[in-house]
Structure formats: structure tokens, C-alpha cells
């Protein structure tokens, strides 16, 4: 039985098989244990004769079990090491890479262009009060322009009893910056704005950049030069032609809407050249004007001493124009395929 057991141990190929053999030999019901029990019923002489044999058998089986177990463990470890070997010379798999969203990219471009012209960046809260968003911009409570803004209001007023809302434009930053920093000023204020409106060219949240210059002797010529310089830099073309149309905003007087000329190149609208050229046209890109005296007063400044111009433009629309995109909503879908298609993702 000892020879049989030793053969079985040598033939075992798994830890489970070795364990089964151990139980069959050394377990409570095992044959070695049974032999050991017989020792108690033997005469001393008999025990002296058989005892060493039985103990030797137990030792031999125990040693063989331990050796085979160790062998199997070593083999298993070798197999694992071979299977899990890391080849450090292989190139690493490429992980998908993120990229800057086109709107953020355009915001950065604009901030850079205006920084070159000496404009600092200012900001204000997206949750605004009715006074900064409307009243101080020369839109008193009954002003019809308030209704045109499709404003998102909050149900509760603030501590001063002012209606709270999501700002409908970045113009309240004009007021906040004048009140905080005084004059002279040369700032842009990029940020999110909100109106309850949604179609291919409107989303309930969109991005504007406000510009404000307050100084002495500022006139419309400064405004025109600034806008021309900025649009040429942004569209990276020298042949940008602007059309200034008289318009109306409560916070500027006079007010000017600015169109940029485009021409058709292979059926696509490309910014540049006069919009009056055959096949061409004009696209509105900006609202602007000389800051209304009342707004300068609301900003805590004396309008006889300080003058200025202001402008506001939709960042998303500028991005659409520059990159030839046609549905504004795609900007906010977060679809990586769309970003890839337009070359914004890596
Ligand atoms: N706030 C205006 C808008 O959202 C744009 C504007 C800004 C017009 C500054 C004039 C001066 O339409």
C-alpha cells in the first residue's frame, strides 16, 4: 500500500489530487492512521518490531506529499510567470485623448486677441439680480426690452428684494466693473448667458463676450477700429469688411449693429470681402455702441468726464462662422464623433 501511495503521489498533477491522496493515507480514515491505531493493541515485542516500519511508512508518505506539493507549486508559478510576462519593449496602447472644446478654444483665442490690445478679463455671476441685468443698463421695470430677453427668473428674491435671474447677457459685468474699479477701463467679459429659446441657431445657454472701454474723449472711431482689428485677427484675414448699421440698445447711444461681409466659395459662406459682391451677403456678428450716459452714472462715474464704448458678441456664433458649422445645438451635445469630424478632438 505504501508503494501504491507513493506511485499515486508521483503521478498526481494537481494540488487537489495530492490532497485527496493525503486524506486517503493520513486522514482519520486513512490507511496509515489505521496502522498506527493497531500499535495500541500489540504486545511490546510486536510493537517494537512493527512500530518503526509503520512510522517509516508515515514519514515516507508525508515526505513524498510535501515534495510533490512543492513541485506542483513551483510548476504553477513558472506557468504563471510565463503567461503574465510583461514585454517592456512593446509600444504602449494609445489611450483616447481629450481636447479643447471649440467654444473654449474660441474664448481663448478672443481673450488673446484682446489681451494684445490691452484689454483685461473681467467677470460677473451667472446668477444675477434684476438691477444689474436690466435696471442699471437703462431698462427700468416697465421697459419693453425686458420682455424681449426671454429671461429665466428664480422664484425667490434676494435679501435686497431684487428679482433673481440667470443673466441674459454679459452686459451686467459693465456695471459691476465700473462700480468696483472706476475709470479708466479696458475690459472684456467672456461667459455663459441664458435665455429660454431653442432652435438650430439658439440654445438656452450660450456664450458671449462683452467689451467695455471707458476713458476720456472716446468716440465711435475708437469702437470701429477696435472691432475691425479684432475681427481681422479672429478670422485671420485682412479683407474683412464691416457694415455698421444704426440700431437700438437701451444701454448704448448711439447703438450700432455690426455685420461682416461674406462671399460664396464653392457654395460655402466664407467670411471676407464685401457682402455686396455677387453671391455674397452680410452676417450680423455684434451689438455695440457708445455707452449711454445713464449707464455711466449707474456705474458711479460722471458722464461729463468719462465716455466709452461697449460691445457684445456671441462666441458660439463666431465659432460657427469661423469653422463653418451649421447647427449650434451640436456644440452642447458632447458627441465625440462630431468633435472628431470637425477636427476638434485628437
Ligand atoms: N447685450 C447685448 C445683447 O446681448 C449686446 C450689446 C452689448 C450691445 C454691449 C451693445 C453693447 O444683445
Q: What is the whole-number distance in angstroms between the Cα of residue 76 and the centre of ligand 1?
A: 74
Tell me the H-state helices in 119-188: 130-133, 144-147, 172-181
- Residues 171-229 have pLDDT tens digits of 999 999 999 999 999 999 999 999 988 777 788 999 999 999 999 999 999 999 999 99
The answer to whether the CB of 58 is under 6 A from ligand 1 is no
The answer to whether the CB of 312 is under 6 A from ligand 1 is yes
- Residues 140-163 have pLDDT tens digits of 988 877 877 789 999 999 999 999
Cβ distance 153 to 129 under 8 Å? no
Q: 144: buried, middle or exposed (CB in 10 Å: 19+, 13-18, 0-12)?
A: exposed
**Does 22 score more than 60 pLDDT?**
yes
* Structure-derived torsion over alpha carbons of residues 101, 103, 104, 110, reported in degrees to the nearest 10: 140
Other beta carbons less than 10 A from residue 207's beta carbon: 23
- Residues 256-280 have pLDDT tens digits of 999 999 998 888 888 999 999 998 9
With a CB cutoff of 8 Å and minimum separation 6, the contacts of 54 are 32, 35, 36, 38, 39
Q: Which residues are annotated as a binding site?
A: 253
Helix (H) or strand (E) holding 37: helix 31-38
CA–CA dist 188, 34 (Å, integer): 95
Mutate to test the pocket of ligand 1, among 251, 254, 256, 294 (most ligand atoms within 8 A of CB): 251
With a CB cutoff of 8 Å and minimum separation 6, the contacts of 130 are 162, 163, 164, 165
The answer to whether the CB of 311 is under 6 A from ligand 1 is yes
- Among 251-260, 275-284, 303-312, the minimum mean pLDDT is found in 275-284
For residue 35 the three cell numbers come to: 496502522
pLDDT of residue 345: 60
∠ Cα 302 307 311 (to 5°):
125
The answer to whether the CB of 249 is under 6 A from ligand 1 is yes
CA atoms within 13 A on the CB side of 47: 9
The answer to whether the CB of 114 is under 6 A from ligand 1 is no
CA atoms within 13 A on the CB side of 64: 22
Amino acid at each position: 500500500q505504501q508503494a501504491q501511495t507513493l506511485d499515486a503521489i508521483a503521478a498526481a498533477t494537481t494540488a487537489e489530487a495530492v490532497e485527496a491522496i493525503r486524506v486517503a493515507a493520513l486522514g482519520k480514515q486513512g490507511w496509515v492512521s489505521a496502522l498506527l491505531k493497531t500499535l495500541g493493541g500489540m504486545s511490546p515485542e510486536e510493537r517494537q518490531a512493527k512500530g518503526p516500519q509503520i512510522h517509516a511508512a508515515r514519514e515516507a508518505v508525508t515526505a513524498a506529499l510535501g515534495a510533490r506539493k512543492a513541485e506542483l507549486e513551483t510548476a504553477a508559478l513558472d506557468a504563471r510567470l510565463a503567461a503574465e510576462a510583461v514585454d517592456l519593449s512593446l509600444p504602449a496602447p494609445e489611450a483616447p485623448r481629450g481636447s479643447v472644446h471649440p467654444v473654449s478654444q474660441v474664448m481663448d483665442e478672443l481673450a488673446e486677441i484682446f489681451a494684445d490690445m490691452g484689454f483685461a478679463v473681467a467677470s460677473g455671476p451667472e446668477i444675477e439680480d434684476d438691477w444689474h441685468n436690466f435696471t442699471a443698463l437703462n431698462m427700468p421695470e416697465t421697459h419693453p426690452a425686458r420682455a424681449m430677453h426671454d429671461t429665466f427668473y428664480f422664484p425667490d428674491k434676494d435679501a435686497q428684494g431684487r428679482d433673481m435671474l440667470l443673466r441674459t447677457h454679459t452686459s451686467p459685468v459693465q456695471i459691476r466693473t465700473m462700480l468696483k474699479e472706476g475709470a479708466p477701463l479696458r475690459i472684456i467679459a467672456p461667459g455663459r448667458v441664458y435665455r429660454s429659446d431653442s432652435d438650430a441657431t439658439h440654445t438656452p445657454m450660450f456664450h458671449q463676450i462683452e467689451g467695455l472701454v471707458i476713458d476720456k474723449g472716446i468716440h465711435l472711431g475708437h469702437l470701429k477700429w477696435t472691432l475691425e482689428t479684432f475681427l481681422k485677427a479672429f478670422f485671420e484675414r485682412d479683407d474683412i469688411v464691416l457694415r455698421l448699421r444704426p440700431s437700438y440698445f437701451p444701454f448704448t447711444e448711439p447703438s450700432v449693429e455690426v455685420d461682416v461681409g461674406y462671399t460664396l466659395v464653392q457654395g460655402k459662406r466664407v467670411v471676407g470681402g464685401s457682402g455686396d459682391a455677387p453671391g455674397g451677403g452680410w452676417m450680423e456678428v455684434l451689438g455695440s455702441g457708445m455707452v449711454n450716459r445713464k449707464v455711466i452714472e449707474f456705474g458711479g462715474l460722471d458722464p461729463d468726464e468719462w465716455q466709452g464704448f461697449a460691445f457684445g458678441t456671441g462666441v458660439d456664433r463666431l465659432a460657427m462662422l469661423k469653422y463653418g458649422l451649421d447647427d449650434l445645438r451640436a456644440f452642447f451635445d458632447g458627441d465625440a464623433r462630431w468633435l472628431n469630424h470637425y477636427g476638434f478632438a485628437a
